[in-house]
């Protein structure tokens, strides 16, 4: 007789893990701007490294409308920006800074100016308002009058800095994945030849 082969398929249970995963860190900026020959642009930095940038399209036109601090509703020019920072790049003890990257000013016509104003920096839900930010030029502290409660950045060499609390920035949000679920997976068994018994 021939050598028939035995082949069968079994099943095993596998668990689809539902372990929690860390989400990206979230940094939100509340900013206003003054435009002159174009809107102000900015960079967001973490410990000096650029992690984001943006343009203030709602900036008040200093040539047509006037200065932000002279406006009856300066906070109506605020814009919100949100940045996601990968968990692998985020530093719990890192300083967060905002920089004006395209400063411009026309001396001949007073009031024609391009500036940036910081209302607040929020890191993973912790808000640092303008009054609690530092304004630095390099490592030198700058003392300027706030405009409409906002920290002004008049030069590209200046930066608004949010210093983390002693315990560091809050932890990143945790994404709760579904609980582990057993799933039956097919397992193919290796066939083996059957040796006939001698008579």
Q: Identify the three-state secondary structure at position 132.
A: helix
Phi first, then psi, for residue 53 (nearest 5°) are -155, 170
pLDDT at 105: 87
| Domains contained in the chain, CATH given | 25-172 (2.60.60.40)
The CA-to-CA distance between both ends of the chain, in Å, stands at: 12
**What is the reported pLDDT for 170?**
94
Q: Taking the mean position of all CA atoms in its chain, how far away is CA 100?
A: 18
pLDDT tens-digit map of 6-54: 444 444 444 444 545 567 999 999 999 999 999 999 999 999 999 999 9
Question: Which of 164, 115, 121, 123 shows the shortest CA–CA distance to 144?
Answer: 115
Structure-token pair, residue 154 = 């008049």
* Full-model pTM: 0.75
Give pLDDT tens digits for 45-78. 999 999 999 999 999 999 999 999 899 999 999 9
pLDDT grade for 164, boundaries at 50, 70 and 90: very high
The rounded distance, in Å, linking the Cα atoms of 176 and 20 is 5
């Amino acid at each position: 007789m021939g050598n028939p082969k035995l082949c069968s398929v079994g099943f095993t249970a596998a668990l689809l893990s539902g372990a929690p995963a860390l989400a990206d860190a979230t940094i939100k900026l509340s900013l206003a701007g003054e435009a002159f020959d174009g809107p102000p642009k900015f960079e967001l930095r973490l410990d000096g490294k650029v992690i984001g940038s943006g343009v203030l399209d709602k900036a008040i036109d200093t040539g047509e409308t006037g200065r932000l601090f002279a406006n009856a509703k300066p906070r109506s020019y605020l814009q919100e920006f949100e940045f996601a920072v990968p968990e692998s790049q985020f530093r719990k003890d890192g300083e967060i800074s905002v920089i004006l990257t395209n400063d411009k000013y026309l001396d001949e016509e007073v009031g024609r100016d391009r500036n940036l104003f910081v209302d607040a920096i929020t890191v993973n839900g912790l808000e640092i308002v303008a009054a609690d930010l530092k304004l630095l030029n390099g490592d030198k502290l700058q003392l300027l009058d706030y405009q409409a409660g906002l920290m002004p950045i008049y030069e590209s060499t200046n930066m608004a800095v949010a210093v983390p609390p002693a315990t560091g920035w809050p932890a990143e949000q945790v994404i709760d994945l579904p609980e582990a679920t057993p799933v039956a997976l097919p397992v193919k068994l290796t066939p083996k030849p059957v040796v006939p018994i001698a008579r």
